[in-house]
Amino acid sequence: MKVIFRVDASLLIGSGHVMRCLVLAEALSKKGHQVEFACSPLKGDMRQFIRERGFNVITLAEPQRNLEPQHDADYEAWLQKSVIEDAQDFLAAVKAADLVVTDHYAIDADWQEKVAAVLDCCLFAIDDLGRCHRAELVLDQTLGRSAIDYASSNTKALVGSEYALLRMGFSNKREAALSRQLSDESLRVLVSMGGIDAPNATLKVLKNLCCKVNADFTVLLSSRAPHFQQVSAWCLTQPNVRHQEFVSDMASLMLEHDIAIGAPGTTSWERACLGLPNIVIPLAKNQQLICEQLVKHNAAVRVEIKDIPSTLYGAFMRVLEGWSQFKEANLTLCDGRGARRVIFEIEQLVSKKRDGVFLQYASQDDIALIYEWQSHPDTRKYALTPNVPKWSEHQTWMLKKLQSTSDYFYMVINRVDRSKVGAIRLDRMESGHYLVSIFVDPNSYGKGVAFQALNAIDAIHPDVTLHATVLKANVASQRLFKKARYHQVDEETYIRKPID
Which of 474-488 are b and which e, b meaning 16 or more Cβ less than 10 Å from the residue's Cβ? eeebbebbeebebee
Residue 248, strand partner residues: none
Q: Enter the DSSP assignment of 115.
A: H
What is the spatial distance between Cα 126 and Cα 16, in angstroms, rounded to a whole number?
12
Strands 408-414 and 34-39: unpaired
Q: What is the DSSP secondary-structure string of 342-362?
A: HHHHHHHHHTT--SSEEEEE-
- The answer to whether 33 is a known catalytic residue is no
What is the spatial distance between Cα 254 and Cα 201, in angstroms, rounded to a whole number?
20
Which of these, 282, 290, 280, lies nearest to 318 by C-alpha position?
280
Q: Angle, nearest 10°, between helix axes 367-375 and 391-403?
A: 130
Assess contact for 363 and 335: CB atoms under 8 A. Answer: no
Q: Enter the DSSP assignment of 299.
A: S
What is the spatial distance between Cα 309 and Cα 311, in angstroms, rounded to a whole number?
6
Q: Which of 17, 33, 257, 461 is labelled catalytic?
A: 17
204 — alpha (psi -120 to 50), left (phi > 0) or beta? alpha
Strands 408-414 and 357-361: antiparallel
Assess contact for 426 and 434: CB atoms under 8 A. Answer: yes
Outline where 259-307 has alpha helix (H): 267-273, 288-296
- Ligand-binding annotation for 318, yes or no, is no
Q: State whether residue 76 is helix, strand or coil.
A: helix
Beta strands in 154-298 (DSSP E): 156-159, 187-192, 215-220, 241-244, 259-262, 278-280
- Ligand-binding annotation for 47, yes or no, is no
What is the spatial distance between Cα 319 and Cα 409, in angstroms, rounded to a whole number?
29
Known binding-site positions: 167, 270
Residues annotated as catalytic (active site), given as ranges? 17
Known binding-site positions for substrate: 167, 270
